[in-house]
Amino acid sequence: NAGVTQTPKFRILKIGQSMTLQCTQDMNHNYMYWYRQDPGMGLKLIYYSVGAGITDKGEVPNGYNVSRSTTEDFPLRLELAAPSQTSVYFCASSLLGESNQPQHFGDGTRLSIL
Amino acid sequence: GQNIDQPTEMTATEGAIVQINCTYQTSGFNGLFWYQQHAGEAPTFLSYNVLDGLEEKGRFSSFLSRSKGYSYLLLKELQMKDSASYLCAVRPNNAGNMLTFGGGTRLMVKP
């Protein structure tokens, strides 16, 4: 059972470049999330989705875009990379239903913008 | 707004007991989660509390007091592998099962 899979694991971008961080889950979870984690800090929610075709902004959405065309995939797009976007990005998913459902996290993408 | 506070760092000795506190002020409350995160790895789920009281899971226990906006994670019989960050997260409401995370507590276990 693969769970939540993120690619790539590492990436270095130049200022102004664009890229897409991929996230796939095979647990048939309705909810998916993107977080960023700066060094020594907690997780900040960027965007989330409650199902295919539905996305919404989290706490820090500026500079990012998402789409959710299928239940499995939730890519995160950076259009014009800036040094402030250097961070570790985590994708997570959870199940609709019981209130004690935790979020399950991927291994993260470590992104540096130079 | 949402505010979740945890100590930044703690140090404890192998075999001892340590308590990591979390206080929260959020617009609503529908559950509190504790996650463990080893350096360079993803957070993994440890425990969930929604009612007042203690939830025990092996060496780990988590306590909640909703009236005080307070929770703690208790780790017993500490092992070196327990050196990690511990993240407290509150679900303010049931919409989207979203969580607001504290900054995390980095625990160092020494021999």
Q: What percent of chain B has pLDDT over 90?
A: 84
Measure the CA–CA gap between B21 and B12, rounded to whole angstroms. 14
More confident residue, A42 or A22: A22
Reported as a single tens digit per residue, the pLDDT across B75-96 is 999 999 999 999 999 998 767 6
By C-alpha distance, which of B104, B24, B19, B99 is closest to B68?
A: B24
pLDDT at B37: 95
* Percent with pLDDT over 90 in chain A: 87
d(CA B6, CA B78): 20
Distance from CA of A80 to the nearest CA of B (A): 26
Q: Is any Cβ of chain A less than 8 angstroms from the Cβ of B48? A: yes
Q: Which of B30, B42, B48 sits opposite A102 (nearest CB)?
A: B48
Sign of the Cα torsion A88, B49, B6, A62 reads positive
Q: Which positions 5-64 of A are in contact with B (Cβ < 8 Å)?
A: 31, 33, 35, 40-45, 48, 50, 56, 58
Sign for the CA dihedral angle at A103, B88, A88, A85 comes to positive
B31 reaches A (C-beta below 8 A): yes
**Is the distance from CB of B102 to CB of B46 less than 8 angstroms?**
no
CB contact under 8 A, A107 and B99: no
pLDDT digits (tens, 9 = 90+) for A60-69: 999 999 999 9
Mean pLDDT to the nearest integer, A6-30: 96
Using the beta-carbon criterion (under 8 Å), do B42 and A106 form an inter-chain contact?
Answer: yes
Q: B44 CB near a chain A CB, below 8 Å? A: yes
> Closest-CA residue in chain A for B94?
A99
pLDDT at B28: 87
The segments of chain B whose pLDDT lies below 70 read 1, 94, 96
Q: How far apart are CA A87 and CA A114, in angstroms?
A: 12
